[in-house]
């Protein structure tokens, strides 16, 4: 008779909400830069009248999932596992609740996220309705640990329409003492009926000092080198207040990619064709998917900064100077259209699995033509 899978077996599988080999948000001990959001939850839990559904919003990688798991631990913890005053979200490290939440084995915690198929070794691109339907069985069980249950949806952006409607039914008729924590980077895309049933916690991007501390914590835990000061100077503007983005840049060679983009843009209106071909050849294989995605994000962001600098005269001195030289007020509309075309072509390339090299070469060719005026 086949045994049921152990927690250790489950944890061995890849997780869609884990960034490379960095610690998962539920394993992150200290959350930096989100004191206001933590205080709101701490006061709600201490008061004993917690709203049944919360929508954690903000840019990707700023600590929304980390906060959700902190709230889950605090809500499910026994009194003697909480901090001595019982007013915060802190739970004793290594306590039973802490271990169970970290192992996703707590009987009163249910996590909805994109499933992984061991046969195809791929994550689903969406959260299908079947994943949400499992919630019905969970909510039918008797809750332990003071009768509280916690449901985390990471992220609600991944719900397809049927899954969103299935979740809505639970939000409309919430079981007693159940807390729903929905994580989203694009709340405007969610069903209005879901948003209306949630209390919104808008989480801000991190200040540079908090971002450095949060990223250093993750790097230290993952036994990776912490950047030198001159690398931080390059990294912080690109990270945009997101720890996740900073770690992606560091782990994916983002600083080197940005340097190559800057060199290509700085050489316009004369395009270095050899460099563009070399870059497109490097990013063409499917095995380089993550690097390709990172490059496209950086490329789009760089082009966007140039357009903004040309339009407003504000931004980094290099962007202002280059934007003035390449774009100027007379070609703003042309470059804005180029940005929109790039975003659309990238989406089509990813969705339809089109040729990546053609995308990169075509985009830079149009950029060169526009720069020549």
The pTM of the full predicted model, rounded to 2 decimals, is 0.87
pLDDT-wise least confident of 33-42, 84-93, 328-337:
84-93
- Say whether pLDDT at 102 is over 50: yes
- Say whether pLDDT at 12 is over 70: no
Vertex 245 angle, CA 243 and 249, to 5° = 120
Phi, psi at residue 314, to the nearest 5°? -120, 155
Burial 275-303 (b: 16+ CB within 10 A, else e): ebeebbebbbeeeeeebbebbbbbbeebb
End-to-end CA distance of the chain: 73
Average pLDDT over residues 48-62: 94
Q: Give the model's pLDDT for residue 142.
A: 62
Reported as a pLDDT band with limits 50, 70 and 90, residue 120 is: confident
Query: Do residues 54 and 154 make contact, with C-beta atoms less than 8 angstroms apart?
Result: no
Non-local (6+) Cβ contacts of 56 within 8 A are 37, 64, 67, 68, 181, 182, 183, 184, 201, 203
Q: Give the model's pLDDT for residue 3.
A: 41
Query: pLDDT digit string (tens) for 239-286?
Result: 999 999 999 999 889 999 999 999 999 999 999 999 999 999 999 998
Q: What mean pLDDT, rounded, does the chain reach?
A: 91
- Say whether pLDDT at 8 is over 60: no
Reported as a pLDDT band with limits 50, 70 and 90, residue 175 is: confident
């Amino acid at each position: 008779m086949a045994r049921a899978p152990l927690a250790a077996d489950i944890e061995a599988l890849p997780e869609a909400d884990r960034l490379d080999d960095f610690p998962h948000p539920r394993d992150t001990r200290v959350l930096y830069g989100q004191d206001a959001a933590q205080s709101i939850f701490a006061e709600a839990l201490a008061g004993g009248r917690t709203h049944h559904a919360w929508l954690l919003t903000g840019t990707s990688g700023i600590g929304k999932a980390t906060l959700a798991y902190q709230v889950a631990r605090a809500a499910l913890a026994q009194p003697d596992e909480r901090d001595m005053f019982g007013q915060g979200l802190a739970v004793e490290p290594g306590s039973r609740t802490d271990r169970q939440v970290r192992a996703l084995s707590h009987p009163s915690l249910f996590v909805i996220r994109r499933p992984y198929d061991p046969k195809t070794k791929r994550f689903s691109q969406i959260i299908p309705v079947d994943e949400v339907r499992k919630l019905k069985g969970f909510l039918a069980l008797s809750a332990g640990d003071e009768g509280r249950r916690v449901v985390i949806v990471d992220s609600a952006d991944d719900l397809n329409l049927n899954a969103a409607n299935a979740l809505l039914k639970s939000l409309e008729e919430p079981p007693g003492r159940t807390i729903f924590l929905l994580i989203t980077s694009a709340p405007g895309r969610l069903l209005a009926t879901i948003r209306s049933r949630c209390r919104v916690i808008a989480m801000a991007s991190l200040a540079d000092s908090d971002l450095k501390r949060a990223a250093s914590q993750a790097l230290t835990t993952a036994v990776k080198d912490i950047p030198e000061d001159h690398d931080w100077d390059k990294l912080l503007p690109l990270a945009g207040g997101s720890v996740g983005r900073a770690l992606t840049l560091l782990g994916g060679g983002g600083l080197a990619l940005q340097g190559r983009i800057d060199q290509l843009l700085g050489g316009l209106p004369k395009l270095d064709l050899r460099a563009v071909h070399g870059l497109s050849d490097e990013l063409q294989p499917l095995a380089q998917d993550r690097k390709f995605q990172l490059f496209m994000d950086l490329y789009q962001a760089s082009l966007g900064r140039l357009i903004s600098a040309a339009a407003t005269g504000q931004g980094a001195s290099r962007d202002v100077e280059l934007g003035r030289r390449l774009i100027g007020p007379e070609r703003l509309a042309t470059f804005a259209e180029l940005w929109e075309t790039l975003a659309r072509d990238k989406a089509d390339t990813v969705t339809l699995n089109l040729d990546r090299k053609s995308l990169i070469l075509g985009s830079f060719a149009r950029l060169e033509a526009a720069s020549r005026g």
